[in-house]
């Protein structure tokens, strides 16, 4: 394919245009983040942070984050303090517990345990007698039946060297 004057001119102009757009964007971003954040914006941030709208909190944090990407010696003392406080301050999940929270948790836990105990004792009081199969004689007879059936012959009741209690779990019948 032959190169003409027009095609080489077009190629060089496109190359220059792309070079201009790639080099001018970082300069614009850097210029936006090189100025310090005003002191009134950062003053008393510890007391104002919780009351600030989420959008304003996000904008302030993003601005500080952009400033911290640059040389930290250019940050003002207020910016350093604000960035530290926003990152590690006692707010959000690191906030102090409200006064009396431990007492409330203890009270509600003990209330739940007391209600459970009352419910258990009430159900236990109205329950009928134990089933007729819940006595030692019945359970021993169940063991003998299972041995006769040779159930679980490797390590259970049907094994020749079995020494456990089997299904016996109740006291003898009175």
Calculate ∠ Cα 156-161-164, nearest 5°.
55
* pTM of the predicted protein model: 0.42
Higher pLDDT, 14 or 61: 61
In whole angstroms, how far apart are CA 96 and each of 92, 100, 101, 109, 126? 9, 12, 10, 21, 47
> What pLDDT does 95 receive?
80
For residue 158, the model assigns a pLDDT of: 85
What band does 29 get if pLDDT is binned at 50, 70 and 90? very low
Number of H helices, E strands in the chain: 7, 0
| 29, 70 Cβ separation under 8 angstroms | no
- 50-75: per-residue pLDDT in tens? 888 889 888 888 988 888 888 888 88
% pLDDT > 90, the chain: 22
User: 32 or 125, which is more confident?
Assistant: 125
Q: Residue 17: which pLDDT band, with cuts at 50, 70 and 90? A: low
């Amino acid at each position: 394919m032959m190169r003409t004057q027009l095609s080489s001119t077009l190629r060089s102009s496109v190359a220059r245009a792309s070079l201009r757009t790639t080099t001018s964007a970082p300069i614009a971003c850097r210029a936006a983040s090189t100025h310090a954040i005003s002191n009134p914006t950062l003053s008393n941030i510890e007391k104002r942070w919780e009351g600030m709208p989420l959008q304003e909190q996000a904008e302030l944090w993003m601005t500080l984050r952009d400033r911290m990407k640059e040389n930290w010696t250019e940050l003002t003392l207020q910016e350093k303090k604000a960035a530290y406080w926003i990152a590690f301050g006692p707010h959000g999940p690191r906030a102090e517990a409200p006064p009396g929270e431990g007492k409330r948790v203890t009270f509600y836990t003990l209330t739940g345990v007391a209600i459970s105990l009352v419910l258990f004792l009430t159900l236990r009081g109205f329950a009928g007698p134990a089933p007729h199969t819940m006595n030692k004689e019945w359970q021993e007879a169940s063991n003998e039946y299972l041995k006769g059936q040779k159930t679980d012959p490797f390590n259970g009741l049907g094994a020749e060297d079995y020494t456990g209690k089997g299904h016996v779990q109740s006291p003898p019948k009175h």
